[in-house]
Amino acid sequence: MFNKEKFKQNAPAIPVLIWVGFLVGLPLVFVIILSFLTRDDLGNVVIKFTLSNYKKIFDPTYLKVFFNSFLLATLTGLITLIIGYPVAYFTANLSPKKRSLSIGLIMLPFWISSLLRTYGWIILLGNTGIINNILTKLNIIQSPFNMMYKFSTTLIGTAYMLIPFMIIAIYNSVDKLDKSLLEASYDLGASKRQTFLNITLPLTLPGIAGGFTLVFIPSLGLFFISDLLGGGMTLFLGNVINSQVTKGRNKPLAAAFSIGMIILVLIILYLYGKLTKDKKGEGLF
């Protein structure tokens, strides 16, 4: 039923929806259409329906790329969780003054250029980098230890880049935790370990799920980290899309891969929604 009163109330929202719809919705529809088209030998898009772009995803070479990206994103989520959870938990238990200092230090990297932070790892891990210099000077190793251009180098860089998101998400849920529940648990004779496993951990699960989602999504697309630290030795989705658009001139293929990437994101968002369904007011943002 069309409700005139409600329409009048909602009318101011229309320009907003059109603006974002025009800049996000339309391009996405455009990419979906393009992913079903072909290209000629010169790289021009030809309007001819095909499914071959999607079939290519299941080609072993490209399937590996999807797998690499999925693995990178999942491992980044796990590593940032394992390292970040204690940081968030300890920070929430600090005195107010120390707590704001700690939060400030966690948030500050958001303001530091992401290229600089990636470059910092080259300075640190490179063959002539700081770590190799120190180890050689101390005579622990004779020749430089090769740490660059590996899957793990990309993993370190990505986890380093995104860990503040994880910590802040967990911190917010630890901070909201009802402290009387913990006291009640201790009063009933539960040990620290039991209290943590039975109360703190389940109650901070929405924060963990939120942090995981916030880390997982961007880690799929940060191609500059794998470019600089991974040296293109392991191929990730972001790199393939980027090179297909800028060098390979196969735009339909890049479009199909972008859609594949977005579907990965949707799966994660769906899982996140399922996991936090019965906890109201724990929105991702």
Sites for other proteins among residues 30-89 (CB under 8 A): 30-31, 34, 83, 86-87
On whether the CB atoms of residues 66 and 234 are closer than 8 A, the answer is no
Between 207 and 260, whose beta carbon lies closer to other proteins? 260
Strand partners, 46: 38
Contact positions with other proteins (CB under 8 A) in 233-262: 237-238, 241-242, 245-246, 251, 254-255, 258, 261-262
The least CB distance from residue 60 to other proteins, in Å, is 22
The least CB distance from residue 243 to other proteins, in Å, is 11
Between 55 and 192, whose beta carbon lies closer to other proteins? 192
Out of 70, 119, 145, 196, the only residue in the binding site for other proteins (CB under 8 A) is 119
Contacts with other proteins: how many residues (CB under 8 A)?
75
The least CB distance from residue 47 to other proteins, in Å, is 12
Between 130 and 181, whose beta carbon lies closer to other proteins? 130
The least CB distance from residue 75 to other proteins, in Å, is 17
Helix (H) or strand (E) holding 21: none
Nearest residue to 147 (alpha-carbon basis) of 24, 28, 230: 230
Count of residues in the chain? 285
Contact positions with other proteins (CB under 8 A) in 144-163: 160, 163
Contact positions with other proteins (CB under 8 A) in 174-213: none
Between 121 and 208, whose beta carbon lies closer to other proteins? 121
Q: For residue 45, how many other CB atoms are within 10 A of its CB?
A: 15
Distance CA 211, CA 214 (A): 5
Out of 57, 71, 75, 122, the only residue in the binding site for other proteins (CB under 8 A) is 122
Residues 6 or more apart in contact with residue 38 via CB below 8 angstroms: 45, 46, 48, 50, 52, 252
The least CB distance from residue 96 to other proteins, in Å, is 15
Out of 38, 50, 74, 114, the only residue in the binding site for other proteins (CB under 8 A) is 114
The least CB distance from residue 249 to other proteins, in Å, is 12
> What are the residue ranges of helices labelled H in 93-199?
96-107, 114-125, 130-137, 151-176, 179-187, 192-195
Distance CA 131, CA 127 (A): 9
Question: Under the criterion CB under 8 A, does residue 269 sit at the interface with other proteins?
Answer: yes
Helix, strand, coil percentages (3-state) for the chain, rounded to 5, are: 75, 0, 25
Distance CA 122, CA 55 (A): 37
**Which one of 49-57, 120-128, 173-181, 204-212 is the stretch in contact with other proteins (CB under 8 A)?**
120-128
Out of 80, 220, 230, 253, the only residue in the binding site for other proteins (CB under 8 A) is 220
The least CB distance from residue 7 to other proteins, in Å, is 10
Between 125 and 208, whose beta carbon lies closer to other proteins? 125
The least CB distance from residue 160 to other proteins, in Å, is 7
* φ, ψ dihedrals at 195, nearest 5°: -60, -40
Rg of the Cα trace of the chain?
24
Q: Which two tokens stand for residue 194?
A: 């039991």
